[in-house]
Amino acid sequence: MSTDARLIDTSFTRYDGPRSGRAAAIWSLARWSALRALGARRGWKVKVIPIALTLLAFAPALVVLGLRALFGSSTFTHDVIRALPYGNYVSTVSVIVLAFTVVITPELVCPDRRDRTLSLYFSTAVSRFDYLAGKILAAVLPLLLVTMAPVALLYAGAVLFAVHPLGYIEHTWRMIPRIIAGGLIVAMFYALVGLAISSLTSRRAFAVGGYLAFLALPTIIGGVLSHALNHPDLHLLALAPSPIIAAQGLYPKYSSPGNLSAVTWGSVAVEVSVVALAVLAYRYGRAED
């Protein structure tokens, strides 16, 4: 084998193709990150859990609509519909939302730290802000599958089965912005908290454990202390349900633990989200990353 190979000349060509801008870069990063977290282009075992959790989130809506299709407008059907109002849907599937967040958010950031690919991202035109915005969007969009989409399906089915669909929409159109806003509130909270905790480690197992501990321990402690000391404000230590309760406050006939207002619960959710965003800004704003 000859070892006398030499590089004689090099040449570079200027890229003259279309340039889509930063928004397209953020969207591309968010889209492919979300698809990978959901198992795209990976083995079927990785796809099973996100698909199963999504189907479980849709299950209550499908059951209600299926019963309505079978039994029509009977008294039994109306009882089933009243048992699952739009405002209580996310709280019904709250465990599924938590599990879905545990599956999605560590997969979005932990591999980049473990494989040391952050420097590759930041050596391109992708800025730290672009990377962070793309990852937040990549977490929020899949979470909307379990926070907004099932409630939207339930509402669409109610319109379809209504005797006068246009009349039903006319009387209930206010539910549409409530469904959208409620889904976004819950998805944004869990996305920011999940990403913030996952950004602290390169190990997914540690991220999952830290996420569950951060949400579960204050909730348990707050519940115990509020009953022991008979102090309703201690309910606010329950961080996990705060965005769900805040979203429920968008609907009429709202009641919350400790008789606290939806605004109070919403302020807790906002404060935790701001802290999570500050953690993300700190973790991805340092030059050594």
pLDDT over 80 at 32, yes or no: yes
Residue 2's pLDDT band, with cuts at 50, 70 and 90, is low
| pLDDT value at residue 218 | 80
Q: In this predicted model, which residue has the larger pLDDT, 221 or 267?
A: 267
Cβ-contact 207, 198 below 8 angstroms: yes
Query: Which ranges of 123-260 does DSSP label H, i.e. alpha helix?
Result: 128-147, 149-161, 165-172, 175-198, 204-229, 242-248
Contacts of 279 (CB under 8 A, 6+ apart): 196, 199, 200
CB atoms under 10 Å from CB of 219, counted, come to 17
pLDDT over 70 at 242, yes or no: yes
Q: How far is CA 286 from the centre of its chain?
A: 26
Cβ-contact 203, 110 below 8 angstroms: yes
pLDDT digits (tens, 9 = 90+) for 79-96: 666 777 888 898 889 899
pLDDT over 60 at 288, yes or no: no
| pLDDT value at residue 219 | 78
Instruction: Return phi, psi of residue 93, to 5°.
Output: -105, 25
Q: What mean pLDDT is predicted for residues 252-272?
A: 79
| pLDDT value at residue 262 | 81
pTM for this model (two decimals): 0.85
pLDDT digits (tens, 9 = 90+) for 186-202: 999 999 999 999 999 88
pLDDT over 70 at 74, yes or no: no
| pLDDT value at residue 185 | 94
Q: Is the dihedral of CA 235, 237, 238, 244 positive or negative?
A: positive
Closest of 101, 100, 278, 109 to residue 202, by C-alpha: 109
| Residue at 194: amino acid letter | G
pLDDT digits (tens, 9 = 90+) for 46-60: 889 999 999 999 999
The DSSP annotation for 68-134 comes to HHHHTT-HHHHHHHHHS-GGGHHHHTHHHHHHHHHHHHHHHHHHHHHTT-HHHHHTTT--HHHHHHH
pLDDT digits (tens, 9 = 90+) for 128-173: 888 999 999 999 999 999 999 999 999 998 888 887 888 888 888 9
Cβ-contact 181, 250 below 8 angstroms: yes
